[in-house]
Chain A
Amino acid sequence: MFKYGGYTGNILRVDLTAGTTKVEKLDENLARDYIGGNGIAARYLYDIVPAGTDPLSPENALILMNGPVQGTRVPAVGGRTVVVTRSPLNGFFIDAYYGGHFGAELKFAGFDGIVVTGRSEKPVMLVVEDGEARLVDASPYWGMKTFEFQEKLRGEEEYHDSEITCIGPAGENLSPMACIISGVHAAGRGGVGAVMGSKHLKAVVAKGSGGVRVPDMEALEKYCDSINERMKENPATSKVLPTFGTPAIVAANNNLGLLGTRNYQVEVFDEADAINGEALRNSAFVKSASCFSCPIGCAKLFRMEGDEYGPAESVGPEYETLWSYGSNLANSDLKSIIAADRLSDELGLDTISVGSVIGMAIEAFEKGLITAADTGGIVLKYGDPQLMMDLIKQVATNEGFGAVLGAGTRELGRRFNAEKLAMETKGLEIPAHSPRGYPGMAIGYATSNRGGTHQDGRPSAERGGAVDRKLKEGKGEYIVGVQRMTTLADCLVACRFTEGIFGLTNISEDYVDIMKHVTGMDYTVEELNDVADRVYALERAFNAREGASRKDDTLPYRVLNEPIPDGPAAGEFMEPDVFERELEAYYRKRGWDVETGLPTAETLRRLKLDDVASDLY
């Protein structure tokens, strides 16, 4: 039995080229120093994927990892999984997370994680069950959309009580915007689905009859009860999210004048009322759903009659998608957004990146930078739901203009001399939290190892008023604390909706308590900060091997040069000199070199990353 509670102590190694699987023991020191999820996966990736590896080659690794807490009742944490790989969209480190039940089932099936390398000749699926693994021919399923596939597989006696993680046609076609789907949940960002597709791996299927052991069940159960009580007292986790889910954020941001509209040309969407949380609740709500062990139930099944855009039934759209397929495209047709959300899940596409690149392409078309000759004759315009549906399908084919879009906003900018319109950092599209109106979030985008994600830096404290939203002074140092919190939460594979309970801006004593109760390990907050810093520095070192440095910690042209033109937040943007000042404060706080934007050798050694220091210096 593994030394610490929560873990199975087993990592599955899969070589698809050789068609072999092997169970290896989890290193106890790895558990202590990296905890799990993001951390352990980052260490595996750094160690086994050499610099310069083509993300879609057999040599890249696709890593699925849970953490010590998955499978337990710790609220809003129990079922999540992280996918870590080298991104085919931007070539950097990517960690993409998904909710649902898979992370717990993987634990019950006997594994803390799966590391896949190689490429199978034929389509296969990996089946893990009670400590064992096998590769099964998936040729009959290749080409299937994600829901159709999962339902078909669940219909087979052998798999009826399994949890499935899979790709759809977009992943099979190697679209750099392909995601991975489990149930109705997506590991959305960075093209992780294309990496899975490149390995000819249609699915990973988990079923297990095992259990998760902890040092003192009674104590943990009491602790979970106390967290639940705090969740009941918090309006976000007790009322807003259970009632509306994330669509509640549409009105909040639009009221602040910070709802990206028409590719962030403006940040007020006049028709936001048609696509906000109230509209969805009143006209489309069917049922709430939860991830494993979560009392919040933020997932909402929405359904509208009429299938002119295809089935308008989906768990979602979430806030991000209401922005990306809604305000960002000046589209207020709610039914089309639900249908587009469903279509994207079925094809296996990241709604954030797809909506962002479509919004950018339309702007470039209106400005004459892209013409009908480039689009195969299609006229691109805002507020056209059918065009949106057609382009989503094109992106999934990864052919023609769909392939041009799927290569991302950075590539689109290069191709059509439209760099100033690209809303990305490090080649990953920025989501729905305004970098002009949330300065801390802006520095979070710039310094994220992934690029434009709202899951390293966070908008929540600025949006909710826990910190002064408009203040820029000190936001560089501030976002270090936020990123430490998110990185540690990612090692636990915890949902971001625990942040209002466990702390928005720093690692709190709650994480000490969780680790103590679940694993039996004693940490101080300072030691947990070190874990977070270790993981973040390691990710940065991975990127550094691929050529990344301070030059890549940037913001889009629009954010640095074009103030928000009108609305309640008119005039707000990130002045370049302020940005550079805060960026340097950020580096200093992290113990990184302000010239290179990389951890110093001294910092790496302090974090027990001596081998990485030797690699970089």
Chain B
Amino acid sequence: MPRLCVDENKCTDCRICQLVCSARYNGVYSPKLSRISKKAGIIPDTTTTDVCRQCSDAPCVAVCPAEALIQPGGEGVVTLDESLCTGCELCVDECPYNAIWFNGETDLAYKCDLCGGSPECEKRCPTVAIYVYEEEAV
């Protein structure tokens, strides 16, 4: 099943992934609104990335009372139907990877849906640090 992976050794912390993400989905450049969260040390020997792992039987899907988070068959990309989202934030709390956020302006959750298969971040990452990893079904 496809999901985004990050090779932190290659990541230079340029945040282009965040910029293209918020540009596409929010029409503004805003790292906080992107579906990727990044941190780096003062000495940038390490970076860390929070991004949705598209868990099988995803806990966010299970906890959503509005059935706004959708994962057919409990496998693959978890998508959000914004028309159903009530902004309860249960999914934000439930996500073990801190990869769902809440937009206070729209009162909606937001998360990575792999841009429908060809993520903007993967296309633009200058060091190919972020990429779609296709896990073979067992």
- On A, residues with C-beta under 8 Å from B are 71-73, 78, 101, 104, 108, 147, 150-151, 154, 161, 183-184, 208-214, 217, 221, 225, 228, 286-297, 299, 301, 313, 315
Contacts and interface: CB of A to CB of B under 8 A. Distances in A.
Given A290-B126, A294-B14, A295-B16, 5 more contacts: A72-B29, A73-B16, A212-B28, A212-B29, A287-B45
A4 to B, nearest CB: 15
A294 B42 CA distance: 18
A497 B27 CA distance: 28
B44 interface: yes
B83 interface: no
Interface residues of B, number: 28
A78 B23 CA distance: 14
A154 to B, nearest CB: 7
B28 A211 contact: yes
B86 interface: no
Given A73-B23, A151-B42, A161-B39, A290 B12 contact: yes
B138 interface: no
Closest 7 CB pairs of A and B: A211-B30, A211-B28, A295-B126, A290-B14, A290-B12, A297-B12, A289-B44
Interface in B30-83: 30-33, 39-45
Contact of A209 (B14, B27, B32, B44): B32
A313 B28 CA distance: 37
B30 A209 contact: yes
Contacts of A292: 14-15
A183 B26 CA distance: 28
Interface string B6-19: 00010011111001
A211 B33 contact: yes
A295 B14 contact: yes
A210 B30 contact: yes
From B29, B40, B127, name the one whose CB has the most chain A CB atoms within 10 angstroms.
Answer: B29
B127 A297 contact: yes
A78 B14 CA distance: 9
Contacts of B33: 209, 211
Among A217, A221, A290, A293, which residue has the most Cβ atoms of chain B within 10 A? A290
A211 B26 contact: yes
Given A108-B32, A217-B27, A301 B19 contact: no
B23 A184 contact: no
Contacts of A291: 14
Contact of B23 (A101, A147, A154, A217): A217
A293 B44 contact: no
B25 to A, nearest CB: 11
A147 B42 contact: yes
B44 to A, nearest CB: 4
B51 to A, nearest CB: 16
Contacts of A184: 42-44
Contacts of A101: 13, 15
A221 B12 contact: no
Contacts of B19: 72-73, 78, 293
Nearest to A291: B14
A373 to B, nearest CB: 41
7 contacts: A72-B29, A154-B42, A210-B30, A211-B29, A217-B28, A290-B13, A292-B14
Nearest to A210: B30
A108 B126 contact: no
A347 to B, nearest CB: 15
Contact of A221 (B20, B31, B39): B20
Interface centre among B23, B39, B127, by most chain A C-beta atoms within 10 angstroms, is B23
A297 B127 CA distance: 9
Contact of A147 (B13, B16, B43): B43
A3 B9 CA distance: 42
Given A211-B29, A217-B27, A287-B9, A315 B14 contact: no
Nearest to B8: A287
Contacts of A78: 15, 19
Nearest to A212: B29
Contacts of A288: 12, 127
A212 B14 contact: no
Nearest to B104: A209
A150 to B, nearest CB: 5
A73 B44 contact: no
A313 B127 contact: no
Contact of A301 (B14, B27, B30, B44): B44
Contacts of A150: 42
Contacts of A228: 124, 126
Contact of B42 (A108, A183, A209, A225): A183
Nearest to A289: B44
B102 to A, nearest CB: 11
Given A209-B32, A212-B30, A287 B44 contact: yes
Contacts of B15: 78, 101, 104, 292-293
A297 B44 contact: no
A124 to B, nearest CB: 21
Contacts of B45: 286-287, 301
Nearest to A298: B12
A295 B125 CA distance: 8
Contacts of B42: 147, 150-151, 154, 183-184
B29 to A, nearest CB: 4
Given A73-B16, A290-B12, A293-B15, A108 B31 contact: yes
Contacts of A108: 30-32
Contacts of A73: 16, 19-20, 23, 29
Contacts of A208: 32
B32 A289 contact: no
Contacts of B23: 73, 217, 221
